[in-house]
Copies of this chain bind each other. A is one copy, B any other.
Amino acid sequence: MSTVLLNKISEVKKEINNWKQSGYSVGLVPTMGALHRGHASLIKKAKETCDKVVVSVFVNPIQFCPGEDFDKYPRTIENDKKICEELGVDIVFAPNAKEMYGENSRLSNTELTFVCPPYNFVDCMCGKSRPGHFDGVATVVLKLFNIVKPDFAFFGQKDAQQLFIIKKMVKDLNLDITIIPCPIVREDDGLALSSRNSYLSEEERKNALTVSKALFYIKELYDKGVTDTSILFDSAISILDKNIELEYIEFRDFSTFEKVKEVKNNTLAAIAVKSGKTRLIDNIIL
């Protein structure tokens, strides 16, 4: 069957109900579009795991903070659909904001029901500089879960904090959905794939390369026996280009999301920076 592009929630629900009645397992890959090889790896994993695969393409207004790049975020639905067709996706669900949030005059918590992940998971790392971001993410993901009713949902490990928050939501709200994390996909030179890489000038891209280099250096030192996070922090800093604006480097247990002082196996080392005006994140599991 060929890929169907649907814009209406009711159309998606109808098709999903048919699938459920036929006993098919359903996989969801939630995206904001501008699909790249990172998304493709999620979709491939979904195809391996599930009978039917839905890719949602929705630039979610409620997860952007004031002054962020909502308006200029790349929108490439024709190309996204083509990629989904090549990968054998069953449904591309691409609603607009009105379809998702109705006629509400303000897409805020004065008028809409929000899902609010716990402060301990939100008030740190990316959440510090993006207040409300993860409320917006959790809310739209829960809506997509309720629309698509997936058995499995696929999330990139690059957004590590998002991954923790979604897993926590699934547990706390008793959802019957298995969250499958998928490894970061990188360019040959190490840059983690991101739809926002398209914003980078040649110079900014060159500088941004020092982010993954810093992470690889942390891994190299850890493999040599260095476990003190303050040493690893300083070593990473020494690698970052001087034009890179550091937001954070954090070391957290990849299972519990707790901060660690001594790195051990399964520790996440995560970085957020700005290269020029573009905010980038990357991480590595030690």
A147 within 8 A of B: yes
CB–CB B118/A173 < 8 A:
no
Q: Which of A113, A168, A172 has the most chain B CB atoms closer than 10 A to its own CB? A: A113
Whether a CB of chain B sits under 8 angstroms from the CB of A18 is no
Chain B residues near A115 (CB-CB < 8 A): 113-116, 173
Distance in angstroms between the alpha carbons of A4 and B168 in the assembled complex: 30
A174 within 8 A of B: yes
CB pair A113 B118 closer than 8 Å: yes
Note all chain B residues with C-beta closer than 8 A to A169: 113
A142 in the interface, Cβ–Cβ < 8 Å?
Answer: yes
CB distance from A207 to the nearest CB of B (A): 37
Contact A9 B174 (CB under 8 A): yes
Chain A, residues 208-249, CB within 8 Å of chain B (1/0): the string is 000000000000000000000000000000000000000000
Do A174 and B143 have beta carbons less than 8 Å apart? yes
B120 touches A111 (CB 8 A): yes
Q: Which parts of A96-116 form the interface with B (CB within 8 Å)? A: 102, 109-116
Nearest-neighbour CB distance to chain B for A147, whole angstroms, equals 5
The answer to whether B172 touches A113 (Cβ under 8 A) is: yes
What is the minimal beta-carbon distance from A24 to any residue of chain B, in angstroms?
A: 14
A147 and B174 contact, CB distance less than 8 A: yes
| Bound-state Cα–Cα, A149 to B116, Å | 22
Report chain B residues within 8 Å CB of A171: 102
Sample 7 A-B pairs with CB under 8 A, ordered by A number. Answer: A111-B118, A112-B172, A113-B115, A113-B116, A113-B117, A113-B172, A143-B173
Top 3 A-B pairs ranked by shortest CB distance?
A: A113-B172, A146-B174, A110-B119
